[in-house]
Every structure is written in C-alpha cells, then in structure tokens.
Structure 1
C-alpha cells in the first residue's frame, strides 16, 4: 500500500500525465493527492479514468492557477470529510469497514505573508477529531535552515511558526529516503535554490499503526517538485515463538506415557526416518500431556 502526493504544476502537458500514470501503475497507491492541477473538473474526470482511479474529490483551479485533487479506486472505503483551496480531508477504512484513520492532503499558502492562514487551518482540522492522522503535500515552508540550500536565508520567524503549528497539532515528520530537497527553482549559479517544501507528517496514533511507514522523494522531470511516495507498512503482529520440547520427568510415572511413545514411534514403518519419528513422538506427547495434565507447568507450580 502507498500514498502518492505531488505538486504537479499543471496536468496540461502529456509528459506530466504519462509520468504520473507510470508511478501509479508501479506503486499501486490507495490515494493520490495532486497540488496545482490547474485543471477544470471535466479534464480531471478524464484524467482519473486514465489512471483507473475514478473516485475522489476535485477542487477546481482558481483562474489559471491552483487546483487540488484527492483520488482513489472504486471500491475503496474512503469517506470525504472536508476540503478547501488548501486541503482535502478524508477518512480511510480497511476492507471490513473498520480501523479508520484520517488522511489530509495539504497545500500551504504560496504567499509567506498569508501563511498564517494555512497554520490556522491545520490547527482547526486537528480539533475536529482525534483519530490516527497523516498529513502530506506541499507546505511551502521549512522547519530548519538546513532544509534549504542557496540564495537568501529563510526567515527564522516563518520557520518557528511552522514548527509551532506542527507541535500544537501533534504532528511528527516521517523523514525521507532520497534527495534532501523536494523543490528546485531551476536556476544555476549563485541564484540556484533547493528547498524541502514537501513532506509527510503524522500523529502518534497513526505512527503506532504504521510504524514501518517510509517516505521516498521521487524526482519528476515534468515538475520542479519531487513526488512523495508514502509506503504504508503496518506494524507486524508479534510472532508466535514455538516453545521447545522438554520431556517431563513426571511422565515416566504414568504407564500411559509408554503407550504413547510406542504408538508414535511405529517400528513397523521402515520408510520413516529417525528425525520424522522423533518429531511425531514429540507431537503425540504434547497432545497427550495437554489432554491428561493440561498445562504441565501450572500443575507443577500448584504442587
């Protein structure tokens, strides 16, 4: 299972559509979140059919810019909560309609002077419910200076406000595999700038369910943003450790033990090797012990 999130900078070019189609086929995501689609609803519907992800929420472009989409395959139990020009919020259920968790695609305001509106929105979304929650997308902000390379330094107050917002919402960065940065301004020399604007964050409840989740930064030739591929690896249930077999001394005093061993060993079957006979004998003794004594350790403890 995976989730894909990408600031595609428009779905008007054939390369963007082709590249995303290839990523969807190879990673088989349960959700795809797109930022800056710059597409009308009619075009998005055709694009969704091409991806074979015909269900979802489309926030149309505003003029010639913007546009968000969260899409998924028909049959997936995904329920819409809310949306705006900056987010799409859904709840994901398993195949039995249980174990819900919340997934929010997010787009931070591109104007730094208005980014406080984005943080207020995220804090409002947090207050709506306390279920396991993961948020992904282009936040248009960084948390520390080392998430930016080149050109002018990022405003320290801007970064602090973003960190404060994540802290208030109880959201932790999932880290990443791949390039340190997710966006490049495409320039060269002293004006070249690389920034980690795109990320995945989640609360403790979500991390407890998906402790093996991993984020990959995937370079995309059709956009100046990397695609985020969030691979959902659920926490594996603890493995049952098979107890070693021990022959209990108390069995010797029971005449039935000899009968069990002789029956399990079966000396007439010459085709069965010694290891198989030992294994069969252990199994027979375990079953006999359980039927006669129950849990032998409890019996010995009581004595």
Structure 2
C-alpha cells in the first residue's frame, strides 16, 4: 500500500502530465494526491484517462489557481467525505485486516496571513471522524528553523501556530527519507531559498496499524516542489528491500543512461595507451 503526493504546478502542461505518468509507473501508488492542478473537472478527467487512473475526484481550480485531485486504484474502496478548495478528506478500505482508515490530502493557503484560518479548518476536520488518520500534502509552513534555508525570514509565531494545530489533532510528523528540502526558489533579492513544505503526519492509531509506514522524498524536476512525496506502508520497506531497490536503480542507470562502465573504462584506457605509445 502506498500514497503519492505531488505539487504538479499545472497539469495543463503536457510535459507535466508525462512526468506524472512516469512517476506513477515507477512508484505504482495505490492513491495519488495532486495539488495545484490548475484544471477544471473535465480537464482532470482527461488527464486521469491519459495516466491510467480513472477512479478519483477532482476539486476544480479557481481561475488558473489551485485545483486538487485524489486518484486511486480500482481495487480500493474510497468514500470521499469532505472536500473544498484546500483539502480532500476520504475513508479508505483497502480490503485487509487493518480496517477502514482516513486520508486527508491537504494544501495550505500560500498567503501567510490566512494560514491561521487553515489550521482552524484542519482542526475542525480532526473533530469530524474518529478513524486512524494520516494527513499528507503541501502545508506551506515549517515546523522548525532547521527546515528552511536562505535569507527569507522565519516567523516563530507561524511555527508555533502550526505546532499547536498538530498537537490539538494528535498528529505526529512521520519524518522522511531523502532530500531535506522539498521546495526551492531562486529570488534576485534573497538568493536561493529552500524549505521542507511537503510532509505527512499521522495519529498514533494510524501508525499502530501501519507500523512500517515511511515517507519518502523522490526527485522530480517538473515543478518548484522538486520532490514528490510518498508514503509506503508495507513491510517491503525493510533495509534489505531498500538496498535491493537501490541496486536495481543503479544497474538500470548504468545500462540505460551512463553505459556499461567497465567497457567505457577499457575503451578510454586503450585510447590513453595509444596516445602514450
């Protein structure tokens, strides 16, 4: 079982659609949460058919701003409970012994002065359903000063408000494997700014039924959120599996991108010998 979350920064771009399709083929997620699609519902339906995930729900963009999507495989039972411009909230029945659990895909308001309102929305969501809960998405906020790098100011009050929201909802940050930052921008006045804005958080109950749940940051160059995030919840994410997965990726890179290293070394050594002769 796995969930992929991606800030796609406009799926009206064919290049972004192809990047999403490649990511889904590579990661094979059971659920996909999309942010900033900038699409209407009918446009999102066309994208779903193109990427091969026709089950889902879309929240339309407002003009060319925002837009969300939650897609899932046909073998899952998904009951969408609440939606609006900033989130999609659903109950998931994966047909296993773990029972029904809750997923919220969340996109925090990018306007700083409105974030306190978003935390209130998240808190109200937390009070609506008593199910094991995981919340994943782009929260446009950091939990500590170490999660941001660059000259941009960090507000201790904003961090405190975010922390209080998580504490009141019983949500714990799942941590991550991969790059420290998930967002980057290069501004003329501030230079390069990087931050960890994308994350996954869960209640103790959810972590109890998915004790192997881990969040991974995967490289993706299709947006300023240069890393897609994903939760893998099965035992397959042991160290041995991760090492084997790494070995496979390196082997494919060697054969498909870099070429056969040994033969290249022999070829270059032969050239060097001929030059020295």
Shift of 1:97: 9.1
1:228 aligns with 2:229: yes
CA RMSD of aligned residues (A): 1.8
SS in 1 for 2:76: coil
Distance 1:150 1:49, change over 3 A: same
Structure 1 equivalent of residue 132 of structure 2: 132
Structure 1 equivalent of residue 176 of structure 2: 176
CA–CA distance in structure 2, aligned partners of residues 139 and 163 of structure 1: 12
SS in 2 for 1:177: coil
Shift of 1:95: 2.2
SS in 2 for 1:160: helix
Q: Deviations over 1:9-49 (max 9, x none)?
A: 11122221111111111221111000000011111101111
CA–CA distance in structure 2, aligned partners of residues 235 and 163 of structure 1: 31
Would the aligned equivalents of 1:208 and 1:235 in 2 still touch at CA under 8 Å?
no
Would the aligned equivalents of 2:148 and 2:196 in 1 still touch at CA under 8 Å?
yes
Q: Deviations over 1:109-132 (max 9, x none)?
A: 111101011101110011012211
1:206 aligns with 2:214: no
Structure 1 equivalent of residue 261 of structure 2: none
Shift of 1:187: 4.0
Shift of 1:73: 2.1
Q: How does 1:1-303 map to 2 (within 5 A)?
A: 1-95=1-95, 99-187=99-187, 190-225=190-225, 226-233=227-234
CA–CA distance in structure 2, aligned partners of residues 97 and 147 of structure 1: 37
CA–CA distance in structure 1, aligned partners of residues 18 and 78 of structure 2: 26
Q: Deviations over 1:228-268 (max 9, x none)?
A: 011112699xxxxxxxxxxxxxxxxxxxxxxxxxxxxxxxx
CA–CA distance in structure 2, aligned partners of residues 128 and 141 of structure 1: 24
The unaligned stretches of length 5 or more in structure 1 are: 237-303
The structure with the larger Rg is: 1
| TM-score, structure 1 as length reference | 0.74
Would the aligned equivalents of 1:68 and 1:87 in 2 still touch at CA under 8 Å?
yes
SS in 2 for 1:58: strand
Structure 2 equivalent of residue 275 of structure 1: none
SS in 1 for 2:61: coil
More strand by share: 2
The unaligned stretches of length 5 or more in structure 2 are: 238-277
Q: Deviations over 1:150-179 (max 9, x none)?
A: 012311000000000000000000111111
Shift of 1:219: 2.1
CA–CA distance in structure 1, aligned partners of residues 49 and 176 of structure 2: 30
CA–CA distance in structure 1, aligned partners of residues 19 and 97 of structure 2: 33
Shift of 1:74: 2.4
| TM-score, structure 2 as length reference | 0.81
CA–CA distance in structure 2, aligned partners of residues 168 and 235 of structure 1: 32
Would the aligned equivalents of 1:209 and 1:235 in 2 still touch at CA under 8 Å?
no
